Amino acid sequence: MKDTLQPGLTHRFTFRIPETKTVPHLYRESDMFQAMPQVLATGYLVGLMEWAALETIRPHLDWPREQSLGTMVNFTHLAATPPGLTVTIDVRVDKVEGRKISFTLSAHDGIDKISEGTHERVLIDATKFNTKVADKLQRTR
C-alpha cells in the first residue's frame, strides 16, 4: 500500500447498465429470477459498488501483487434501474486501519438515487492468498 491511500480520497465511477446485469441474468438456474423484471439486480449492484471502491484505491496499491477483497457490504437498493441507464457511483474512503479500508458510497441512475451505504475491503497479497485458497481446495479432495 502506498502512502497516498488515505481517508478522504474520493472517486466517481460510471457504468451503463446492460441487459445482462438484470435480475433474470443473476441466476439462470432459478425459475423465479427468470420471471422477474429486467432491472438492475441487487447482486449486480453490490458488485458494481465493490468495483467502484476498488477503482478508488487501485492507484494506491502495488497492483496486481497487492489487491483487496470485500469483507462487508451494507447497501440499500432504493429504486429500480432499467438497462440502458448509466449509474454514477460516488465513493469516499473513510478509514484506513492497517489492511482494512472503509468506504461510504452512493449511486444514482440519472433519475433516482438507487443506493447508498458502507463497504469494507481488506488488502491481500495475491500470491499468498491464492496459495491459501489452493491449500483449502486440496483439503476437500
Query: Residue 40 has which C-alpha cell?
Result: 438492475
pLDDT digits (tens, 9 = 90+) for 9-44: 999 999 999 999 999 999 999 999 999 999 999 999
Tell me the pLDDT band of 2, cut-offs 50, 70 and 90: very high
Confidence of residue 130 (pLDDT cuts 50, 70, 90): very high
The answer to whether 11 touches 56, Cβ cutoff 8 Å, is yes
Q: What percent of the chain has pLDDT over 90?
A: 98
- C-alpha distance from residue 23 to each of 34, 41, 119 (Å): 7, 4, 22
Residue 115 DSSP code: E
3-class SS of residue 88: strand
Helix (H, G, I), strand (E, B) or coil at 71: strand
DSSP 3-state percent helix, strand, coil across the chain (nearest 5): 30, 40, 30
Q: Give me the active site residues, please.
A: 42, 50, 77
Q: Residue 32 CA to chain centroid, in angstroms? A: 25
- pLDDT reported for residue 141: 85
